[in-house]
Chains A and B, each alone.
Chain A
Amino acid sequence: MKIRIPFYMILLIVCRLNAADEPLTGDAVAEMAEQAAYYAGDDGKSDVRMVITDANGQERIREFRVLRLNGEDNKQMFFVYFNEPADVREMSYLVHKQGGGGEDDRWLWLPAISKVNRIAPGDKRTSFVGSDFVYEDISGRSLNEDKHELLSEDADFYVIRNTPKDLSKVDFASYDVWVRKDNNLPVKAEYVDGEGKVVRRVTADKIEVFEGIPTVTQSTVEDPRRGSKTVNTFSNVEYNIGLKERLFSERYLKRPPREATR
Chain B
Amino acid sequence: MKKGGVALFAAFLFTGVYAGEWGGFVEGRLGTRLQEDPLEKQGSVEDLRAQVATRGFLGPADYDLCVDFLYNGLNPDLEDVNLETGNGWLDLRSANILWAPVPWMDLKIGRQTLTWGTGDLVFLNDLFPKDWVSFFNGRDIEYLKAPSDSVYSAMYFGDWILDLVWSPRADTDRYLTGTYMSFYPFVYTADNPLPTHRPHSGDASLRLKTTFGEVETALYGYYGFWKSPAGFTAEGVGFFPDLQVVGGSALTPFAKGIGNVEVAYYNSSEDSDGSNPMIQNSEARFLLGYQQELMADLSMGAQAYSEWLQDYEAYKENLQPGEPLRDEWRQLLTLRLTWFQMNQTLMLSSFIFYSPTDVDGYARLLAEYKWSDTLTLSAGANLFAGESETFFGQFQDDTNMYVAVRRWW
Contacts and interface: CB of A to CB of B under 8 A. Distances in A.
Interface of A: 52, 54, 58, 60-61, 83-87, 89-90, 103, 105, 112-115, 118-123, 125-127, 129-132, 171, 226, 228, 249-251, 255, 258, 261
A114 B115 CA distance: 6
B373 A84 contact: yes
B73 interface: no
Contact of A123 (B141, B299, B370): B299
Given A119-B258, A132-B343, A251-B154, 5 more contacts: A54-B343, A54-B345, A103-B253, A114-B115, A122-B256
B374 A85 contact: yes
30 contacts: A54-B343, A58-B372, A60-B372, A83-B21, A86-B24, A86-B25, A86-B409, A87-B373, A89-B21, A103-B214, A105-B214, A112-B142, A113-B144, A113-B145, A118-B253, A120-B253, A120-B292, A120-B293, A122-B292, A123-B293, A123-B299, A125-B296, A126-B297, A129-B344, A130-B340, A130-B343, A249-B156, A251-B154, A258-B57, A261-B20
Nearest to A121: B253
With most chain B CB atoms within 10 A of its CB, the pick from A112, A113, A120 is A120
Interface in B360-401: 370, 372-374, 376
Interface in B104-161: 106, 113-115, 141-142, 144-145, 154, 156, 161
A114 B296 contact: no
B373 A85 contact: yes
A121 B145 contact: no
Contact of A126 (B55, B62, B291, B293): B293
Interface in B286-314: 291-293, 296-297, 299
Contacts of A131: 343
A113 B343 contact: no
Given A127-B344, A130-B343, A251-B161, A120 B258 contact: yes
A61 B345 CA distance: 12
Interface in B236-283: 251, 253, 256-258
B342 interface: yes
Contacts of B374: 85-86
Given A86-B409, A114-B145, A226 B115 contact: no
Contacts of B113: 113-114
B408 interface: yes
B407 to A, nearest CB: 9
B256 A114 contact: no
Given A113-B144, A251-B156, A255-B106, A120 B342 contact: no
A242 B305 CA distance: 46
B98 interface: yes
Contact of A113 (B23, B141, B156, B258): B141
A131 B373 CA distance: 13
Contacts of B156: 249, 251
Contacts of B77: none
B373 A60 contact: yes
A105 B409 CA distance: 33
B317 interface: no
Interface of B: 20-21, 23-25, 55, 57, 62, 98, 106, 113-115, 141-142, 144-145, 154, 156, 161, 214, 216, 251, 253, 256-258, 291-293, 296-297, 299, 340, 342-345, 370, 372-374, 376, 408-409
B36 to A, nearest CB: 33
A118 B145 contact: no
A89 B345 contact: no
Rank and list the top 5 A-B pairs by shortest CB-CB distance, nearest first: A86-B408, A130-B344, A122-B256, A85-B373, A112-B142
A252 B299 CA distance: 27
Most A CB contacts (10 A, CB to CB) among B142, B343, B408 go to: B343
A119 B253 CA distance: 8
Contact of A226 (B23, B292, B343, B373): B343
A103 B62 CA distance: 34
Contacts of A105: 214, 253
Given A89-B21, A255-B98, A54 B342 contact: yes
B263 to A, nearest CB: 19
Contacts of A119: 258
A127 B373 contact: no
Contacts of A113: 113, 115, 141-142, 144-145
Contacts of A249: 156
A84 B372 CA distance: 12
A122 B295 CA distance: 10
A114 B145 CA distance: 9
Contacts of B145: 113-114
B293 A122 contact: yes
A166 to B, nearest CB: 11
A90 B25 CA distance: 15
Contacts of A86: 23-25, 373-374, 408-409
A89 B66 CA distance: 14
Contact of A127 (B57, B115, B343): B343
Contacts of B296: 125-127, 171
A105 to B, nearest CB: 7
A103 B142 CA distance: 31
A127 B295 CA distance: 12
Contacts of B253: 103, 105, 118, 120-121
Nearest to B373: A85
Nearest to A85: B373
A222 B297 CA distance: 18
Given A118-B258, A120-B292, A87 B408 contact: yes
Nearest to B25: A86
